[in-house]
Amino acid sequence: MIDLDNPEVYQRLDPAGMRECIRELPQQCLKAWQQALSFKLPRPYSKIDRIVILGMGGSAIGGDLLNSLASLESKTPISVCRDYNLPHFVDANTLVIASSYSGMTEETLSAFDQALATPAKKLVITTGGKLKAIAEQNKIPVLIVDYKAPPRAALAHSFVPLLGICQNLGIVSDKSKDVAEMAQVLQDLQETIDENRPLKSNPAKQLAAKLYDHLAVIYGAGFVATAAQRWKTQINENSKAWAFYEIFPELNHNAVVGYEFPADLAQKLFVVFLRSPRLHPRTLIRYKLTAEMLSNAKVSHEIVDSSGESALSQMMSLVFFGDWVSYYLALLNETDPSPVKVIDFLKKRLAES
């Protein structure tokens, strides 16, 4: 197995520096927060009763994180549209936010084009591309992302600006203290899990080693369910590996029944529970009971607990931990975590069509 304590491994397998993008998350969150607070929206934008976020992949997960957090306090429904078609319920009281790091995501462009024909309020978050050009042609506010990275590594700029915009619109309470705490929590956590911490005292490296040569299944609940989704996609894109995620308490109504067959698969599975003390007490009991059922089925598993006091810190600490785990798993798989050649191939073939 690859030695995760060997500096040469990082130079050889990570020439594009994905680890630097992961390491920068705390600072980028603070930068994105300040940008969001200074971003001015037209006065009519305050008159909305729902938000629809258009996006795919790394540009969409920010909307999911926002929804998970805002649902703890806000009455304003927030949904993420990962499709070519705009939801039919979009109206004059809807804020449609098109989020595309590249500005070239075809599904997002298609749905945004449909949004132009509606009276909805509109906003764009991007680095440029067609989406920026279309927005400027139609005099739609554009929040420019000034950070170069693969879209999945620009999470701070797909999530934190949305949170700041919602605060500016009065949809969520003042999150300034929570953002500051979150950045400090991530910074503190990083000291225990980045590549400079040896395997023997690095829980992220240790978990990656356990996931190596296994099929990862990530369990989450409530507002940390999106963190489980993020783990799944990061393992897919960074580690180039299969992964799935399930959500409590729903998984207790179906997934647990599937532990029985095929029996041989149990040896190749590894389940990770993402846990927060803020979850419903009955859900926390379900975590314990489900772990017992996995043990009976001889399926390896582990619990990763959140850090920090606020819901924002707890959610993002789990996301951050998962980003590092997926990175180490990529190295164990002896693959460069940055390129996504299969996606590039698919986009090329779609363009040809």
Give the tokens for residue 134.
Answer: 């279309």
Query: Which residues, 6+ apart, have CB-to-CB distance to 198 below 8 Å?
Result: 5, 205
**Residue matched to tokens 């978050």:** 125
Distance of CA 312 to the CA centre of its chain: 13
Catalytic residue among 24, 31, 181, 347: 347
pLDDT at 1: 87
pLDDT in tens, 271-296: 999 999 999 999 999 999 999 999 99
Q: Give me the catalytic one of 40, 200, 253, 341.
A: 253
**What are the domain boundaries of the chain?**
18-174, 196-332
How much helix, strand and coil, in percent to the nearest 5, is found in the chain? Answer: 55, 15, 30
Residue closest to 222 by CA, chosen among 274, 293, 158: 274
Same CATH fold assignment for domains 18-174 and 196-332? yes
Active site residue 210: no
Q: Tell me: the pLDDT tens digits for 212-232?
A: 999 999 999 999 999 999 999
Cis status, amide bond into 262, omega within 30 of 0? yes
Annotation says 191 is catalytic: no
CATH topology classification for 18-174 = Rossmann fold (3.40.50)
Residue ranges in 71-198 assigned as alpha helix (H): 106-115, 129-137, 155-168, 176-193
Tell me which fold the domain 196-332 belongs to: Rossmann fold (3.40.50)
Q: Burial of 104 by CB count in 10 Å (0-12 exposed, 13-18 middle, 19+ buried)?
A: middle
Residue 331 near residue 14, CB atoms below 8 Å? yes
Calculate helix-pair angle for 155-168, 25-38, nearest 10 degrees.
30
Annotated catalytic residue 347 = yes
Per-residue pLDDT tens, the chain, 353 aa: give them.
899 999 999 999 999 999 999 999 999 999 999 999 999 999 999 999 999 999 999 999 999 999 999 999 999 999 999 999 999 999 999 999 999 999 999 999 999 999 999 999 999 999 999 999 999 999 999 999 999 999 999 999 999 999 999 999 999 999 999 999 999 999 999 999 999 999 999 999 999 999 999 999 999 999 999 999 999 999 999 999 999 999 999 999 999 999 999 999 999 999 999 999 999 999 999 999 999 999 999 999 999 999 999 999 999 999 999 999 999 999 999 999 999 999 999 999 999 98
Helix or strand run (H / E) with residue 269: strand 269-275
The label of the residue with tokens 């992964």 reads: 243
Catalytic residue among 107, 237, 240, 301: 237
Q: Which of 219, 321, 278, 320 is nearest to 69 (CA)?
A: 278
